[in-house]
Every structure is written in C-alpha cells, then in structure tokens.
Amino acid sequence: MARRLADRGDLVAAARALVAAARGGSIEAMLELADALMQGRGVLPDGAAAIRWITAAAEAGSADAQARLGALYANGLGRPPEEGDDRGVFHLPIDIGQARFWSEKAAQQGHVEAQVLLGWLLSRRSGADADPVRAAEWYRRAAETGNHGAKVGLAMILANGDLGEKDAAGAVRLYEEAAAAGNPTAIYYLAMALLLGEGTAPDLERALATMRQAADLQVPGAQRALGVMYMRGQNLPRDGAQAETWLRRAAIKGDVDSMALLGDLHAGRLARVPSDVEAAQWYQAAADRNHAGAQMALGLAYVDGRGVPKDMFEAVRWFARSADAGFAPALFRLGICHLGGDGVPQDYAKAAGYFRRAADAGDADALYNLGVLHYHGHGLDKDEAHAMRLYVEAAERGSASAQFRVGRAHATGVGLPHDIGAALSWTRRAAQQGHVPAQVNLARMLLTGEQGGDTAVAVAEARAFLDRAATAGSGEAMSSMAELIASHDGPAALETALTWARRAVEAGDPHGPQVVAALEARAFQGAVR
C-alpha cells in the first residue's frame, strides 16, 4: 500500500503506511521508512529516527540493515553541532567499534560489501587496534566472490607487509586483476607500482599511461600524482599549467593535499597566472579541513600580507591550529612569536615550551634555540655547559645555526676544545646549507691557511662561498671578497677589489670604510706633497 501511495504521489499517506508496517515488524518497511526519514520524503527529516529504524531492522537480523548501520558508523553522519547551535542538528559520530560490530554480523551472513568494509575496519588504516590477519581473511572471502574492491584491500595489506614479510609481487597480481576489470583504485595503485618498480619491473611509459587512465576515471590520488610530477618536473616536463589543471581537478573533488599543493603552486610562482590571493584561498580551503601544513602556510601569508591582509594575530591563530596537530614547523614558529612578542605577549618560558615540543617532534633549529635560551638564562636556568651540549646535538641533527655556533666554539676554544679541523668541518656544513655568517667565517678560516693543504684550492673555495654570501646581501662578505681579490689577484685587480669594498660600504658593513681606505692607499700612484 505504501508503495502504491508513493507511486500516486501521496508521500504523506505512504509514510503513514510505512510506519504501520514497520511497527508491525516488516523489515522492508523499517528500511524504507528510514530512507523517507533521511530524505524528508512525506515526513519531516529526522536522522535520529532513521537510525533507530535501521537499528531495529539490524537487530531483527537483516544483513542489509546491519551492513548499512556498519557503514553509517564507519563514516559518521552530519556534522557536530557548533557552540550555541540550538537547531537540533542531527550528528552520528564515527564509532569504529560499532561499525565493526554491525559489519561483522552482516559479513557472517555473506554480505560481500560488509565483508569488504570489515576488512577495511580491521586493517591498520582504521586505528591502533587493527587486526590485519582478520582483515586479510575477510578481504579474501569477499575477493573469492569476485569483488575487486576486496582484491585492492588485500593487495594493500600484502604490499605493506602487514602479515609479516612484504609481498609486493602478490599485491601487483591482485592490482592487475582488479585493474583489468576497470577498478579505478586498482588502476591507480598499479600505476604507482609500475612507477616505483615495487613488485614489478619499473616501466615509466606504462606507469604514466596507467596513471592518466586512473586520473581520467576521477581518482584524486592519480590526479594529484600527475599534478605533482608536472609541478616538480619529475618523470614529466615541468609544466605549471598542466600541474594546476590536475591538482585543481583533485582539489575540486575534496582532495585536501591537492588544495595545499595548489597554494604552493601559486605561492611559488609556478602557476599559469600566479596569484598570492589564490594561494591564500587554497591554503584556507585546506586549512579549514585541518591540513597542518596549509595552516602553517596560511599563517605565514598573514605574517607577510601575501594574498591576505597583514595580521600577526591571525597568523598566530593559524600557527596554533597547526601546532595543535603536532606540526613541528608551527611549534617552532610559535616559539619564535613568544620569543619576540609578535602577535602574543613576549614570554620566554612559553617560547621554551614550544621549542621543546618542536625539538621532540624532530626540529633541530628548535633544539638550538633551547640552547640559546639556556645560554642566556631567558625563561630557563642559565647553564652555558648544557647550552653547548644542546648546540652539539642540534648540529648533529642538521641545524645550520647550531653547526655555525659549534664551529665558532671550536675555532675560539670557548665552550669546546680548540680544534681548527672540527671548526672548519662544522662551519663548512653550515655554509653548505646557505648560512651566510658561516659562509663568511669559512672563507676567512680558509684564507688564514691554518688548515694546511693547497692554497689555490682554499682560495677558490673561499671565493665561491663569499660570492654566495655577497649575493645574499652580506656586506661582510663583500669586504672579505675585496681583501681576497687584493691579496690574491695581483695589482691589476685593485679596481675590482675597490668596487667590492664600496659595495660593502653601501651594504652597511662597518668594516667597509677601512677596507676602502686601505685599498685606495694601495692604488694611489701620484706624488705625495
């Protein structure tokens, strides 16, 4: 009767009939009534009532209802109510335990889609209490029925080595089977295997063709992969327009990483028509979806006023959102903000706390800054010996600032044993990372000849590092370059040396005027009266 009424367009009467049939125990009616309540068809929309009827059907033993309930708990329904929201918006939060419970009931009755979902819910992607052995069992049962989604899930377990040793070749065989049947996800993973040579011989031509096939089938991961390859010039010619096209397709489908990458594309001036405003918009889109890197990038946009108004308070707010996710660069940046009182009150103790968290997350520069705070006693106990130990640890982790500081300590013998070899080694490592003061110091150390070795080689290396530092705007490097040229390039190069010295003066190097005066005196050829 309900169906006949619905066919005649009397949805209200149809809904009443469904209520009567559902209350009478009809499982079909329970599920159709749930659909009507979800869609507001003949009744007011009521997600909570819909869930109650699906649950009633599931408890009555319906495999379809159990599978549906498992999927609802796996994905959640609606959005959490916001503070002050009194409209009674329905929200079913994700509950992996309930999702597993109901999916397993349906799976045991042979419901294939529930078996696939249960495989995913038990895989390591579902949380810390994963059970990959059981996940593989359910995937296998579904795969035996010919379900290609189950083959992809099982292949991923084999490729990751979740059952012990990795079986990349076995994974590729399953990808091939599912891809041959047109499964888009399998086509994407097959393309990645061919690209990386995992489980099969690398085949760039076939990999790219397969990746394009997956991208054309609207797989966001494949679209993102093509975008990244065009963006970075990896395996494909660098092409900002193509990169933007593919990343935009993935972003429009909700791929958050592609949104952040589009921000990078515009911010890095690689897009077809670069735009700081569009960069900020894409960062905002990804940041609103909790992409920690985009939140950090959006904060930096507010610091510099790139694409958004300059606003240090808004920058700090986004740094804090990113830091809440444990993103080390954001933790470091918040430490810097508290250190200098930028957008927040100056607070050395809070700065130290953020630096410590960033250091624990792997940020070497944060560890160096902790050393600086200990050295000066700002917000932490003054302890120069402990500071030096932190400098050394940070240098070993790769902090250029720490490597420069350790090199200087070895050069002077203050805080560490005097060791010119160690001083050169650490200073060179910092200089190679682009640390400008280290480049200047390394050049000066090389020019003293204390390290021994071939003088011509040392002069050439010093010249190269001074040129890099001068290009970065260092007046000290310009003065040192002037002195190098005057000492090693002969009298004919004095005018070139003077040019460098005058550039040093213009760049604000306090030593520059002395170098100019000394070189002008050497170049003077007139008669002294």
CA distance 341 to 336: 8
Average pLDDT over all residues of the chain = 94
Residue among 278, 313, 288, 315 nearest 299 (CA): 315
**The predicted structure's pLDDT at residue 88:** 62
Per-residue pLDDT at 265: 97
In the block, residue with structure tokens 């294939």: 112
| Terminal-to-terminal C-alpha distance of the chain | 123
pLDDT band at 527 (very low <50, low <70, confident <90, very high): very low
Distance CA 129, CA 116 (A): 18
Q: What is the pTM of this model?
A: 0.82
pLDDT > 70 fraction of the chain, expressed in percent and rounded: 96
pLDDT at site 90: 84
Could you give phi then psi for residue 92, rounded to 5 degrees? -105, 110
pLDDT surpasses 80 at 23: yes
Q: State yes or no: pLDDT of 128 exceeds 80.
A: no
Structure tokens at 275: 């735009």
CB 262 within 8 A of CB 247: yes
* Sequence ranges of the domains in the chain: 473-528
Res. 83 pLDDT band, cuts 50 70 90: low
Confidence of residue 522 (pLDDT cuts 50, 70, 90): confident
268 near 298, Cβ under 8 Å? Answer: no
Q: Extract the tokens encoding 348.
A: 């050395």
Q: For residue range 274-315, list pLDDT tens digits in order.
A: 999 999 999 999 999 999 999 999 999 999 999 999 999 999
Task: Give me the percent of the chain exceeding a pLDDT of 90.
Answer: 91
Task: Check whether 133 has a pLDDT greater than 50.
Answer: yes
Q: Collapsing DSSP states into helix, strand and coil, what is residue 263?
A: helix
Instruction: Assign 457 a pLDDT band (cuts: 50, 70, 90).
Output: very high
For residues 109-132, average pLDDT: 88
Q: What is the pLDDT of residue 529?
A: 40
CA-nearest of 132, 148, 159 to 187 is: 148
Assign 453 a pLDDT band (cuts: 50, 70, 90): confident
Q: What is the pLDDT of residue 528?
A: 44
The whole-number average pLDDT for the span 210-222 is 97
Q: How far apart are CA 132 and CA 164, in angstroms?
A: 10
Tens digit of each residue's pLDDT (9 = 90 or more) over 347-392 = 999 999 999 999 999 999 999 999 999 999 999 999 999 999 999 9
Written as one string, the DSSP assignment of 58-118 is HHTT-HHHHHHHHHHHHH-BS-PPPTT--S----B---HHHHHHHHHHHHHTT-HHHHHHH
- CA dist 509 and 279 (Å) reads 37
Predicted local confidence at residue 431, as pLDDT: 98
Residue 75 in this model has a pLDDT that exceeds 60:
yes
Low-confidence winner among 46-55, 56-65, 288-297, 444-453 (lowest mean pLDDT) = 444-453
Tens of pLDDT, residues 469-508:
999 999 999 999 999 999 999 989 999 999 999 999 999 9
Please report the DSSP string for 198-260 in residue order. Answer: SSS---HHHHHHHHHHHHHTT-HHHHHHHHHHHHHTSSS---HHHHHHHHHHHHHTT-HHHHH
Segment 442-460 mean pLDDT: 87
